[in-house]
Amino acid sequence: MYGAILGDIIGSPYEFYRGNKTKEFELFSEDSVFTDDTVMTVAVAEALMDAGTGVTGTEMKERLVKSMQKWGRKYSYAGYGGMFYRWLFSDMTEPYNSFGNGSAMRVSSVGWLYDTLEKTREVARWTAEVTHNHPEGVKGAEAVASVIFMARNGADKSTIKRYVEDNFGYDLSRTCDEIRQGYRNMATCQNTVPEAVTAFLEGQDFETVIRTAVSLGGDCDTLADIAGAMGEAFYGVPVNLQQECEKRIGEDMKAVLKRFYRTLRQGEYPQNHMADFWSDDISENTIYNAPELDISMEDLYASPRFLKNSVEQSSESDMPMKMLYASPPYEEIPMNTVYASPGFVGKSKDLLKRLLGGIFQKR
């Protein structure tokens, strides 16, 4: 969620900007504000967490409609499209066959909360269908959630690209340089999602994913929201950017954001293999960027009780968690190293042991 919200905030000053399309710009200015993308991302995440994993499509959709209307009415000046705005304030909650990019910009939490790609796609479909029941609207949401699911589970970029091309038929053959010229704001799924995926694929880390997306122009905040959500799943979000994000959203949104990461960490979704242990602050990227940490990846690699081959097996992933999975029984993992991770600072050793135990019992 940090990734999506940061993309929205960082892209927002450039949404109607007609200047030169560059990757060199100030990440934050006083015009960097959240927009509809953030409000609906929060609304969807809250509905999913309230619903849990066992609900039917009908029940989930009822919750989604309620949550989206609640948040949308509260933040009514966030820049919604006309049709969506009418839907937000209407008692009629029928979908209106939209293929706008709204279904793709709000879907990021779905990519994190479910155990299989099939379930992820099903729930993504539900989140789209409450308004964007046009096939392109549904496809956009499913594609974005799929990329996030695959990225957070350690898939490499060529695998992700192939999956998106094969399953959704998007043309990912163009480079961002080829897209950039002539790209304009169309705010449709089919003219936003492939471009966002391409920006994600070309980026080298979280920040360059966002910069690349914004540099394409068009519907910048939504483009960067979608690319940022994918970037987070692949690279993690540096702590300093998480803090910039928190400064720029409402306290109520921050509460949902915190609850989301707590949910992933504490494994309230028991079938979710990464979730038990996932921490927003624990990616490799973050470890390099967190000045308060006395832990480095070198330390992790060098640790005598951390088997070398498990590290090498996971070398395609930026996530230390992946290494934990690949590692031998948890006694082998240096407890001090794990305990020093920022996600666990202040947490009891008992909790940590319980989490670790949970992971390895499942193997």
- Contact residues toward Mg ion (CB under 5 A) are 35-37, 79, 221
User: Quick one: 144 or 274, whose CB is closer to Mg ion?
Assistant: 144
- The minimum distance between CB 187 and Mg ion, in angstroms, equals 9
- The minimum distance between CB 43 and Mg ion, in angstroms, equals 14
- The minimum distance between CB 166 and Mg ion, in angstroms, equals 30
d(C-alpha 207, C-alpha 224), whole Å: 10
- The minimum distance between CB 110 and Mg ion, in angstroms, equals 19
User: Quick one: 35 or 212, whose CB is closer to Mg ion?
Assistant: 35
As given in the structure block, the two tokens for residue 274 are: 């990464």
Shortest-Cβ-distance residue relative to Mg ion: 35
d(C-alpha 113, C-alpha 120), whole Å: 8
User: Quick one: 37 or 136, whose CB is closer to Mg ion?
Assistant: 37
User: Quick one: 37 or 284, whose CB is closer to Mg ion?
Assistant: 37
Q: Is the dihedral of CA 252, 276, 285, 117 positive or negative?
A: negative
User: Quick one: 77 or 182, whose CB is closer to Mg ion?
Assistant: 77
- The minimum distance between CB 243 and Mg ion, in angstroms, equals 22
- The minimum distance between CB 93 and Mg ion, in angstroms, equals 22
User: Quick one: 79 or 334, whose CB is closer to Mg ion?
Assistant: 79
As given in the structure block, the two tokens for residue 358 are: 């949970």
As given in the structure block, the two tokens for residue 208 are: 């360059």
Residues 6+ apart with CB under 8 A from 229: 1, 3, 4, 7, 108, 111, 144, 148
User: Quick one: 42 or 319, whose CB is closer to Mg ion?
Assistant: 42
- The minimum distance between CB 222 and Mg ion, in angstroms, equals 5
- Report yes or no: 216 and 201 within 8 Å, Cβ to Cβ: no
d(C-alpha 127, C-alpha 228), whole Å: 19
As given in the structure block, the two tokens for residue 291 are: 């000045």
| Terminal CA-CA length for the chain | 28
d(C-alpha 363, C-alpha 342), whole Å: 25
- Cα 285 to Cα 23, 82, 296: the distances in Å are 20, 39, 10
d(C-alpha 185, C-alpha 176), whole Å: 15
